Amino acid sequence: MIEAADFGFRQGYPLCPYSPEAVFRYVNLLMGEARSEDALQVAEAALKVDSKNDQLKSLVQQLRKGKAPRGDK
């Protein structure tokens, strides 16, 4: 089911890249699959779309430090 979930997120994320819920859930999926670089790319792209979002800023900082995000947002 991981492949199906990843495919769904890759389809849904471009439709609403500013949705923190979609971003955090996708990042959690990627981190669970040891894909930290992909997770960082998703978070950074979302932050470009919504540069004033403090949750996304925090997420990017955590990922840059190599830390997994804390819980689903």
Angle at 35 between CA 31 and CA 39, to 5 degrees: 65
- Domains delineated in the chain: 2-64 (1.25.40.10)
Per-residue pLDDT band for 12 (boundaries 50, 70, 90) equals confident
Cβ neighbors of 66 (< 8 A, separation 6 or more) are 36
pLDDT at residue 73 above 80? no
The chain-wide mean pLDDT, for the chain, equals 87
pLDDT in tens, 45-70: 999 999 999 999 999 999 999 876 66
Q: How confident is the model at residue 24 (pLDDT cuts 50, 70, 90)?
A: very high
